[in-house]
Amino acid sequence: MVSARQLRKGLPPQRGKDGALRKALLKWFAEARRPLPWRERYDPYQVWISEIMLQQTQVETVLPYFARWMAAFPDVAAVAGAPQEELLKAWEGLGYYSRARNLGRAARRIVTDHGGVLPASPEVLRSLPGIGPYTAGAIASIGFNISTPAVDGNVSRVLGRLFALPDPVNTPRGQARVWEIAARLVPVRNARAFNEGLMELGALVCRARAPACNACPLANHCAAYARGTPEAFPRKQPRARRRGLRGVLLLLGRGKRVLLRKRPGEGLWGGLWEIPWLERRRGEGCAAALARLLDGLELPLCAPPRKLGVVDHGLTHIQMHLDCYRAEIKEEHSSARASTPSGQPLRWAAPGTLRKLPLARLSHKAIALGWEPAHQRTDPGGGAPRRTDPGGGPAPRPVGKRGKMV
């Protein structure tokens, strides 16, 4: 990684202007900073966990996760010693599960290679799994008060506006420019408060939409404000549209249990359990897709699957639309396979087990459409979607039930 000093080299000194901007930001942050739990002691371990959780996730969402995580895993050694399923369970609902898997990997590396102590150097931090340039800069500056830049989405927006940067900030050129400016601005002694101040300003004042310029401590330093078009910055290159995915999902019951499939270790929802589903092929109807899903499981259904409804689920690059079905196999049926034909582990989970296993949010949404053990059902296959929230984990977001019964 390029160091702050290297990045600063060759840049015109702007001491007067930059100094006034720094001072205004630091003054504002001292008054406006939110009392967040990882700001109580600035313990580097806590800063690390908070930074990983805050990637792609709002502070309010992170707070309960952070509290539960610290109760379960109070230090690096606790993370290093935890089975991956426990880490994933604690992460359930936050999404981007590679973050939790990488926390486990990085914690084990910190124990084996760094005596169990989180390194302070951004370059060394950067060599750990799941720690990129932003997170390395954030841990080093916020956790250790080392003078190094940390540029995330909020900081890119703030600097893109302050300097009315012509290059889109979500391009390599735009990012390089933003990092250069951040490196030039970060003070030698007060890096923690300065970097956090930029992040806080982006979260509270210099928001993506409707920035509160009249309440901004940097308004008279801001080139976008001076032009009268703050929302025209930062410049951004439009993102590719999300790919649509249509598929079928099957809640397969056996007495009180429901069939779960384990995701492969890497990639989307890696290591989590899920209700089996698959993407429909071009021109393939739901019935054919269901038959393909069941193919090879060798499970005799009591009756054809019934439609429960539809789950829509948005991911960064994919918009999923799944028709959800429910079917039963006989409780006494004993030939339950341990894995799919392609080798993914399967298990029949009773409600208690369901609460303990890390489960993809998509599966929580499908369960909320109406799965409960067959013998408890009062309204076979119909009625309003019931919440059978397995507790423990996050409440699935409400879903509309749009499908017709078949």
In the complex, least distance from residue 131 CB atom to ligand ADE, rounded to whole angstroms = 14
**Which is nearer to ligand ADE, 138 or 310 (by Cβ)?**
138
Among 54, 205, 289, 310, interactor with ligand ADE by CB under 6 A? 54
**Which is nearer to ligand ADE, 39 or 401 (by Cβ)?**
39
Segment interacting with ligand ADE, rule: CB under 6 A, options 1-9, 194-202, 255-263, 363-371: 194-202
In the complex, least distance from residue 196 CB atom to ligand ADE, rounded to whole angstroms = 5
Question: Pairing between strand 318-328 and 243-254?
Answer: parallel
Check binding of 196 to ligand ADE (CB under 6 A). yes
Check binding of 216 to ligand ADE (CB under 6 A). no
Active-site annotation holder among 51, 86, 92, 180:
51
In the complex, least distance from residue 358 CB atom to ligand ADE, rounded to whole angstroms = 24
In the complex, least distance from residue 126 CB atom to ligand ADE, rounded to whole angstroms = 17
Cα–Cα distance measured from residue 388 to residue 384, given in angstroms and rounded to the nearest whole number = 12
Segment interacting with ligand ADE, rule: CB under 6 A, options 98-106, 198-206, 236-244, 274-282: 198-206
| Residue 258, beta-bridge partner list | 253, 349
Count of positions on this chain that bind ligand ADE (CB under 6 A)? 9
Check binding of 274 to ligand ADE (CB under 6 A). no
Cα–Cα distance measured from residue 8 to residue 13, given in angstroms and rounded to the nearest whole number = 9
Cα–Cα distance measured from residue 59 to residue 37, given in angstroms and rounded to the nearest whole number = 11
Backbone angles phi, psi at 168, to 5 degrees: -60, 135
Check binding of 199 to ligand ADE (CB under 6 A). yes
**Which is nearer to ligand ADE, 146 or 346 (by Cβ)?**
146
Check binding of 182 to ligand ADE (CB under 6 A). no
In the complex, least distance from residue 54 CB atom to ligand ADE, rounded to whole angstroms = 4
Decide if 51 is catalytic: yes
CA distances from 313 to 176, 224, 398 (A): 34, 36, 11
The site string for ligand ADE over 134-153 (x = CB under 6 A, - otherwise) reads ----x---x---------x-
| Side-chain half-sphere CA neighbours of 309 within 13 A | 20
Check binding of 99 to ligand ADE (CB under 6 A). no
**Which is nearer to ligand ADE, 194 or 325 (by Cβ)?**
194
**Which is nearer to ligand ADE, 180 or 200 (by Cβ)?**
200
Residues 73-92 that bind ligand ADE (CB under 6 A): none
**Which is nearer to ligand ADE, 46 or 388 (by Cβ)?**
46
Residue 234: asked if its preceding bond is cis (omega within 30°), the reply is yes
**Tokens representing residue 27 in the block:** 């003054």
Segment interacting with ligand ADE, rule: CB under 6 A, options 197-205, 212-220, 302-310, 323-331: 197-205
Among 51, 86, 180, 323, interactor with ligand ADE by CB under 6 A? 51
In the complex, least distance from residue 176 CB atom to ligand ADE, rounded to whole angstroms = 21
**Which is nearer to ligand ADE, 86 or 152 (by Cβ)?**
152
Phi-psi category of 228—alpha, beta or left, where left has phi over 0 and alpha has psi -120 to 50?
left
Residues 150-179 that bind ligand ADE (CB under 6 A): 152
Q: Which amino acid appears at position 34 of this protein?
A: R
In the complex, least distance from residue 111 CB atom to ligand ADE, rounded to whole angstroms = 25
Residues 6+ apart with CB under 8 A from 26: 190, 193, 194, 197
**Which is nearer to ligand ADE, 197 or 358 (by Cβ)?**
197
Query: Which residues bind to ligand ADE, rule: CB under 6 A?
Result: 51, 54, 138, 142, 152, 196, 199-200, 203
Q: Among all residues, which ones are annotated catalytic?
A: 51
